[in-house]
A = this chain, B = another copy of it.
Amino acid sequence: MHTPYSIDKSSIDKNDVILTGDRATGRLHLGHYSGSLSQRLALQGQCAQTILVADMQGLTDNGHQPGHVATHILGLVADYLAVGLDPDKVTICQQSQLPALAELTMFYSNLVSYTRLVRNPTVKHEINDKQFGQQVPVGFLTYPISQAADITAFGANLVPVGDDQLPMIEQTNDIVRKFNHVVGEPVLRECRALTSKASRLPGVDGKSKMSNSLGNAIYLSDDNDTIRDAVRSMYTDPQHLRVSDPGRVEGNVVFTYLDAFHPDAQHVAELKAHYQRGGLGDMTVKNVLTDSLVSLISPIRERRKALMNAPDHLLDVLKDGQQKASIQTNQTCQNVKRSLGLLVG
């Protein structure tokens, strides 16, 4: 399998603990693949890694339509396995099945002021984006606290995030330091962001981000016709009207995707040169990209389909993951309760 993501593995230590995850609000797409999924694959087996199917977080802005979260839980697990994540090397578990995460959220809520919470630029930005205004659900407003619970519950010290998520790491470490200070012992572990140098994959429409809500995604579960149609609709160079015209490759989504997903960089370089000097039609390049994406996605899609058709294996993966994760998260929660003096028994 082609994994475009590269990471300096020498910087990863076997004592490192990584927490990642996805909101259970949609299928995974090429944006996830070129970013977080490839990173998880590259780190798989290097150190402890937990992948959270974040159904609780998915509900924070879907409280009125919980079915929108429920329908995506197993699909996420299927996406993970289909791209090659191995449950023997990473722990895959469902957030709502780990009560300790909710308990820790409650404890940490007492250490964060309302002012500090709404100062968080990521949350501010998202509240604006979703046009919640004052109607923002409390669960959504407070999700950075819940994320701090997720991270600390697993003792994670490395959290792969985009630049826009750095305030979440800062909020987590604020809580960690405050908690350890209050109880007078280092119960919780600080974490740091594991940022990626890979640039974010644009949507097929050329917008900066591939996203469910923008409707500009190609999914790992898409069939070949859907992939072909998506590539056909892709944003190229609007000035490139005739085949003989010289074309631009910068900001041309087709070439961005070829860079990200075509296995032969040399061939892509030749195509770029040809396109730039003129004589290479959009349709021809798009066909190359379609072939490349179809050969990347179709085995993933077929594995995913097989997994979804016999979901017992997915359920077993979640069950095993829950078992492992319960032990870890309950232990952290017990440590927290003990240090607060709540274990009177």
Cβ–Cβ < 8 Å partners of A342 in chain B: 55, 66, 69-70, 73, 94, 96-97
Q: State whether A64 and B344 are in contact (beta carbons under 8 Å apart), knowing that A105-B106, A109-B137 are contacts in the complex.
A: no
Q: How far is the CA of A107 from the CA of B99 in the complex (A)?
A: 12
User: Are the C-beta atoms of B341 and A71 separated by less than 8 Å?
Assistant: yes
Question: Is residue A310 contacting chain B, with contact meaning CB distance below 8 A?
Answer: no
Within 8 A of B (CB), among A330-345: 337, 340-342, 344-345
Q: State whether A94 and B318 are in contact (beta carbons under 8 Å apart), knowing that A110-B139, A117-B138, A135-B115 are contacts in the complex.
A: no
A-B contact pairs, 8 of them (CB 8 A): A59-B107, A66-B182, A70-B341, A96-B103, A99-B99, A102-B105, A109-B139, A319-B345
Cβ–Cβ < 8 Å partners of A136 in chain B: 113-114
In the complex, residue of chain B having the shortest beta-carbon distance to the beta carbon of A55: B342
Choose, from A141-149, A210-218, A244-252, A266-274, the stretch at the interface.
Answer: A141-149
Question: Is residue A56 contacting chain B, with contact meaning CB distance below 8 A?
Answer: yes
User: Are the C-beta atoms of A110 and B135 separated by less than 8 Å?
Assistant: no
User: Are the C-beta atoms of A341 and B113 separated by less than 8 Å?
Assistant: no
SS of A interface (majority): helix
User: Are the C-beta atoms of A114 and B141 separated by less than 8 Å?
Assistant: yes
Question: Is residue A60 contacting chain B, with contact meaning CB distance below 8 A?
Answer: yes
Which 7 residue pairs are nearest across A and B when measured between Cβ atoms?
Answer: A70-B341, A63-B110, A109-B139, A99-B99, A110-B139, A102-B102, A66-B340
Min CB distance, A88 to chain B, in Å?
A: 20
Question: Is residue A7 contacting chain B, with contact meaning CB distance below 8 A?
Answer: no
Q: State whether A112 and B138 are in contact (beta carbons under 8 Å apart), knowing that A70-B341, A74-B344 are contacts in the complex.
A: yes
Cβ–Cβ < 8 Å partners of A65 in chain B: 182
Question: Is residue A67 contacting chain B, with contact meaning CB distance below 8 A?
Answer: yes
Q: State whether A106 and B56 are in contact (beta carbons under 8 Å apart), knowing that A182-B63, A344-B94 are contacts in the complex.
A: yes
Cβ–Cβ < 8 Å partners of A96 in chain B: 103, 337, 342
Question: Is residue A18 contacting chain B, with contact meaning CB distance below 8 A?
Answer: no
In the complex, residue of chain B having the shortest beta-carbon distance to the beta carbon of A100: B99
Within 8 A of B (CB), among A135-183: 135-142, 145-146, 182-183
Of A63, A65, A315, most B-chain CB atoms within 10 Å: A63
